[in-house]
Amino acid sequence: MFSRAIAFIAAIGIVLTVNKPVISQNHSEHHSVPSPSETSAERESSRLTESHVNEGLTKLHQKNYSGAIESFGKAVEIQPSHYLAFTYRADIHRLLKNYQAAIDDYTKAIEFNPAHSYLRNSRGVSYAALGDYQNAIEDYTQAISIYPEEGAGYRHRGAAYYQLGENEKAMADLNSAISRNQKDAEAYTIRGEIYTNLKNPDLAIADYQQAAKLFLTQSNREGYTKAINLAKSLQQQSIVPDSK
């Protein structure tokens, strides 16, 4: 079921740029083997929980977000430790810009699955959306410690440091993000903005152009337009003579 879930989430634009999203696993297999000591009542409880989760995924695929939230809510009422149901519901809340609700659900998911970088990055993005960059940085740092090979945590943390005006830390993190994933268009865009602030237009233009190229190959028209316009703006400024 997870293979379907990742397609559902990607289709509605929730996925962060992370390499190991929790929803890439197979949902039906994750809970399908009953314990030998499990009672009939417990087996029925597990069956109902999975039924609600699968129903939620179907509604998510149909973009019936309120219905999906309701189904995942029923799942966690029956099985409060079902971190995947909390994760799915949190992802929907984040999509709908209900960031505090997303934080609450990611927090529950982390409680039952603390060693997953996707959850930390996702909660960090939700904190950042509310302007709480310090808590966001804490989550991104945890994500990096869990999965240091991944670039997403570095890019997110670099963006948060940039928002706080800590350009040196931001640059170090963005360099780390790009070294781990040279196709991370967002990282190039943010680094370009820092170079712009540091009055280094040549490097900024190079980063914006690289970001635009990557966004184009990823069919991200919005990202491409932003990056190419930033590059053009700097190029135009560089050819305008000083008016003294």
| Structure confidence by residue, pLDDT tens digits, 65-117 | 999 999 999 999 999 999 999 999 999 999 999 999 999 999 999 999 999 99
Task: State how far the Cα of 71 lies from the Cα of 31, in Å rounded to an integer.
Answer: 17
Mean pLDDT calculated for residue range 181-193 = 97
Q: Which two tokens stand for residue 125?
A: 């993005």
Are 197 and 152 contained in the same domain? Answer: no
Assess whether pLDDT exceeds 60 at residue 8: no
What confidence tier does 194 reach under pLDDT thresholds 50, 70, 90? very high
Are 149 and 191 contained in the same domain? Answer: no
Task: State how far the Cα of 149 lies from the Cα of 176, in Å rounded to an integer.
Answer: 10
Q: Is residue 22 part of a domain?
A: no
Q: Is residue 26 part of a domain?
A: no
Are 12 and 79 contained in the same domain? Answer: yes
Burial of 64 from C-beta contacts in 10 A (0-12 / 13-18 / 19+): middle
Task: State how far the Cα of 89 lies from the Cα of 71, in Å rounded to an integer.
Answer: 9
Are 166 and 209 contained in the same domain? Answer: no
What DSSP assignment string belongs to 153-174? Answer: HHHHHHHHHHHTT-HHHHHHHH
> What is the pLDDT at residue 42?
78
Are 8 and 64 contained in the same domain? Answer: yes
Are 138 and 77 contained in the same domain? Answer: no
- Mark residue 113 as left, alpha or beta (left: phi above 0; alpha: psi -120 to 50; beta: remaining): beta
CATH number at residue 199: 1.25.40
Q: Model pTM?
A: 0.81
Q: Is residue 36 part of a domain?
A: no
Assess whether pLDDT exceeds 70 at residue 5: no
Distance of CA 188 to the CA centre of its chain: 17
Are 197 and 230 contained in the same domain? Answer: yes
Domain end marker among 113, 147, 173: 113
Range from 8-12, 197-201, 226-230 carrying the lowest mean pLDDT? 8-12
Q: What is the count of structural domains for the chain?
A: 3
CA atoms within 13 A on the CB side of 180: 20
Cβ atoms of 50 and 28 within 8 Å: the answer is yes
Q: Which whole-number Å values give the CA distances from 243 to 170, 234, 239, 240, in the listed order?
A: 33, 17, 12, 9
Cβ atoms within 10 A of the Cβ of 75, count? 24
Q: Is residue 155 part of a domain?
A: yes
Domain that holds residue 159: 133-181
CATH number at residue 1: 1.25.40.10
Are 166 and 189 contained in the same domain? Answer: no
Element (H, E) at 3: helix 2-11
Q: Per residue in 148-172, pLDDT tens?
A: 999 999 999 999 999 999 999 999 9
Are 49 and 85 contained in the same domain? Answer: yes
Give residue 121's identity as a one-letter amino acid code: N
